[in-house]
Structure 1
Amino acid sequence: MEARVFDQSEGPSAIKQVLSSPLYRGATMAMFLSGLATSAAAPQIVLFLVKELRISLPVAGLFYLTSLVAPIAGYVVGSYSDRTGNRLGLFRICAILGFLGWAGIAISTAAWMPFVMSAFFLAFSVAAASQVFAALHDDLGRGGGRANESVVAIVRMALTAGWVLGPVAGTWLAAEAGYRTMLWATALCFLLQIVPLGTLNVSVPPRQSTPALPAGSGQVASWRSMLPLLVFTGFFILVYGGESIKYGFLPLYMEETLRLDAGTRGAVIGIQPFVELLIMPFSVVLGRRIGFLWLMSLAAALGVAANICFAVWSTAAGMFAGQILMGGVWGVFAALGIIVAQRLLPQAVATASAIFMSSAALSTALGGATGGLGVALVGLPNVFFFPAAFSAVAVIGLAAMARSSELK
């Protein structure tokens, strides 16, 4: 059954496809700007709330809870996209909403304003990237070349590259020009996402009639048909939840307990995305050989090992080892996650993309709650055993899906 899902005939190389197609080139540039914008502002937003709006630190921390609206907004946008086929039109609307949300935060003068902007504007802006990947799926579906998954991986790599550069750029801009200028730059990047794709549009290929979504019915996928996608997304949330715990407490652990200097701490944090980018191009190739879900199960096992390193290996070497292993985790999940999500719900790819990509908000909430309670209960570094346990559950669950599903 695996061959029917993933084995495709040879076609042009992924790089040639990206370079020759205005859609793929534009998607690559747009996703880079998306990652750059989001990652530039994310580490600075709490500092902005505390220093500019004089909000207390505990209240400022609640800002991240507004992201829980994102999965709902993503489902609404994705469902409408699957009914209408208006992928890139919705992408432009979501990008504009992202611009309005970050611009609104930049001009905020009252404590409530950033919370409202995040819940009502930024929640919908998260769906912008999912619409781009849905458009890619629609267009690639016409070809059937073997390089299709690699095209998606290249575009996903651009998003990751933005996340690598964004924190550095955001920190520098906030220090040199102020937090409000940094937020305006973030807003501008969201708006500029529209430019590379211009006025392109992608028509949705005719749907095949299925029990979940009859052709021409205008209905969204049923909850029953979405169950495999929701289970897979749940395992992704478990793995990704460890990132919130890590970024919340690993820097503190390295500084106050291990007494590592700032340069070493920065190198530890920075090595993960570097390894991730190195691994992503090979994930699709390896996934074709052993099965995408099997490879993701193995990657989740690396997450178990990484968090155990953080918990028991109390040296700089242990921190580097953990982060290198985490680079392996996300080199696989970042490249394959969106591909698997779309193939678990092929009759509603925009809904699948939106549900999967907006699930990071739930991961953040899970990690934040677990990290806070875990530190209070067991302290540092034992708190990292919790994300190790989460990843272990994902290892078993993904392996079970690989054994039982026609999508391996």
Structure 2
Amino acid sequence: MTDQLTRSPSALRVVLATPLYRGATLALFFSGLGFSAAAPHIARFLVEDLGSSLTVAGLYYLTNLTALGAGYLVGRRSDHTGRRLGPFRLCAVAGFLGWLGIAFSTELWMPFAISALVLGFAGAATSQLFAAIHDELQANPSPAGDGVISYVRMSLTLGWVIGPVAGSFLGAQLGLRAMLMATAVCTLAQLLPLGTLRDRARNTATGIAPTPNTQVSLKTMWPLLAFTGLYILVYAGEPIKYAYLPIYMNDHQYPPTLGGIIIGIQPLVELILMPVAAVLARRTGMLNLMVLGALFGVGANVLFALSGSPVGLLIAQVLMGGVWGIFAGLGIIVAQRLLPQAVATASAIFISAPAVSSALGGLVGGLGVGVVGLPLVFLAPGALALTAAGGLYALQLRLGRRI
């Protein structure tokens, strides 16, 4: 089978034929479905069910910052032992218990504590799967390897397309606590597609695990940290957009159907472009393509700020779909190649970056809207994306050969 997969250029065929890739694809779909169902309604749950003020509810998102440290600890341990699927299962169970605990919370402090101490580790489940996929690709190289990662990553995006709609429906019909319990079930369901599958290290003919990796120095990690920091600048526009774009459209009395189309076009474009980005990157280079993606983000935010029309907002969202079609499909690949001796650590740091971006975006958006108002606040994430484009270009000049 290995020879057959190596000869085949079809990434989809490789994914369907390999138990780990197939299982990871379904697991990430459940992960995206559950988390995206809950994410838009957490603040509402805190206010309506636990009596929080709007200000305190907004502070909940700062608990996401612990995900970066938790992910690093899990990734470092995984790289030291060579085990990926064991930590993945533990993190998935932690996520199940965390969301269940939030669903049954009776005091306002409980979701804050649970999110900071438990759900931070739950997010590391995704990074462990990508580390396991990397190990499999190293053991069974395929010319479609980058495409495999893009297809697996697409399933997470697909979950994010369906999850908000499913969460809104379930919350309206059965209440927010029931919706949070469904999120817990989806998080636990990540375990089912992988069954009793064991790590690549334990499936070799000898059964001998690889030599554990030594700890990497900060100097070795700087390219990864620089890349992740630039990714954070690009991503910071997302929380600003989701916080203020619906308000802007409501203030201008956009029909609900039109508003839904404008919001929903981005993930659809992203899904279409992710496999395309993997093909284009072979010709242009990954970082060069990411420079273009960051510039798409600049154009999108300028349109949000200055267009003043539904057509302009729709074009802006199409451009944002281009941003994430590139970054979502290629980002994890670049991160792992920048720290090949510790791929679980690299995956964990990169995948935890959106949590930091949420805090940064909330801060920039909150300050910016107070100073310049809507819609000019969108010029701030445009400036961040332009800074990221320059940084990515400089990174390409220095590290392009490594990627």
Q: TM-score scaled by structure 2?
A: 0.95
- What is residue 289 of structure 2 aligned with on the other side? 295
Shift of 1:217: 6.3
**Matched residue SS, 1:145:** coil
**Matched residue SS, 1:260:** coil
- What is residue 207 of structure 2 aligned with on the other side? none
- What is residue 168 of structure 1 aligned with on the other side? 165
**Matched residue SS, 2:402:** coil
Q: Equivalent residues in 2 for 1:3-402 (5 A)?
A: 11-204=8-201, 216=211, 218-256=213-251, 258-402=252-396
| Structure 1: runs of 5 or more not aligned | 1-8, 206-214
Partners of 2:223 and 2:7 lie apart in 1 by: 29
- The amino acid of 1:69's aligned partner reads T
Shift of 1:18: 1.0
Deviates more, 1:308-317 or 1:14-23: 14-23
Is the Cα–Cα contact under 8 Å of residues 10 and 147 in structure 1 kept in the other structure? Answer: no
Partners of 1:183 and 1:254 lie apart in 2 by: 28
**Matched residue SS, 2:341:** coil
| Inter-CA distance 289–10: structure 2 relative to 1 (3 Å threshold) | farther
| Inter-CA distance 12–289: structure 2 relative to 1 (3 Å threshold) | closer
- The amino acid of 2:387's aligned partner reads V
- The amino acid of 1:341's aligned partner reads A
- What is residue 205 of structure 2 aligned with on the other side? none
Deviates more, 1:23-32 or 1:217-226: 217-226
Is the Cα–Cα contact under 8 Å of residues 271 and 323 in structure 1 kept in the other structure? Answer: yes
Count of aligned pairs between the two proteins: 390
Shift of 1:277: 0.5
Partners of 1:77 and 1:102 lie apart in 2 by: 19
Q: Deviations over 1:132-164 (max 9, x none)?
A: 000000001112221011111000000000000
Partners of 1:34 and 1:110 lie apart in 2 by: 26
- What is residue 211 of structure 1 aligned with on the other side? none
Shift of 1:12: 4.5
Q: Deviations over 1:325-362 (max 9, x none)?
A: 00000000000000000000000000000000001111
Partners of 2:254 and 2:363 lie apart in 1 by: 27
Is the Cα–Cα contact under 8 Å of residues 40 and 170 in structure 1 kept in the other structure? Answer: yes
Runs in 1 of length 4+ with deviation above 3 angstroms?
A: 9-12, 215-218
Partners of 2:74 and 2:31 lie apart in 1 by: 18
Shift of 1:203: 3.0
Is the Cα–Cα contact under 8 Å of residues 85 and 203 in structure 1 kept in the other structure? Answer: no
Is the Cα–Cα contact under 8 Å of residues 300 and 319 in structure 2 kept in the other structure? Answer: yes
Partners of 1:151 and 1:202 lie apart in 2 by: 18
Q: What RMSD, in angstroms, separates the aligned Cα atoms of the two structures?
A: 1.2
- The amino acid of 1:232's aligned partner reads F
Shift of 1:404: 1.4
- The amino acid of 1:147's aligned partner reads A
Q: Deviations over 1:39-91 (max 9, x none)?
A: 00000111111111111111111110100100000000000000011100000
| Structure 2: runs of 5 or more not aligned | 1-5, 203-209
Shift of 1:261: 1.3
| Inter-CA distance 129–217: structure 2 relative to 1 (3 Å threshold) | closer
Partners of 1:110 and 1:397 lie apart in 2 by: 44
Is the Cα–Cα contact under 8 Å of residues 213 and 341 in structure 2 kept in the other structure? Answer: no
- More helix per residue: 1 or 2? 2
Is the Cα–Cα contact under 8 Å of residues 79 and 212 in structure 2 kept in the other structure? Answer: no
Is the Cα–Cα contact under 8 Å of residues 296 and 319 in structure 2 kept in the other structure? Answer: yes
- The amino acid of 1:278's aligned partner reads I
Q: Deviations over 1:168-214 (max 9, x none)?
A: 00000000010011000000001010010011122349xxxxxxxxx
Partners of 2:14 and 2:316 lie apart in 1 by: 36
Identity %: 56
Is the Cα–Cα contact under 8 Å of residues 79 and 350 in structure 1 kept in the other structure? Answer: yes
Shift of 1:219: 2.5
Shift of 1:259: 2.0
Shift of 1:14: 1.1
Partners of 1:98 and 1:334 lie apart in 2 by: 22
Partners of 1:101 and 1:270 lie apart in 2 by: 29
- The amino acid of 1:363's aligned partner reads S
| Inter-CA distance 140–216: structure 2 relative to 1 (3 Å threshold) | closer
Partners of 2:289 and 2:242 lie apart in 1 by: 25
Q: TM-score scaled by structure 1?
A: 0.94
Shift of 1:11: 4.0
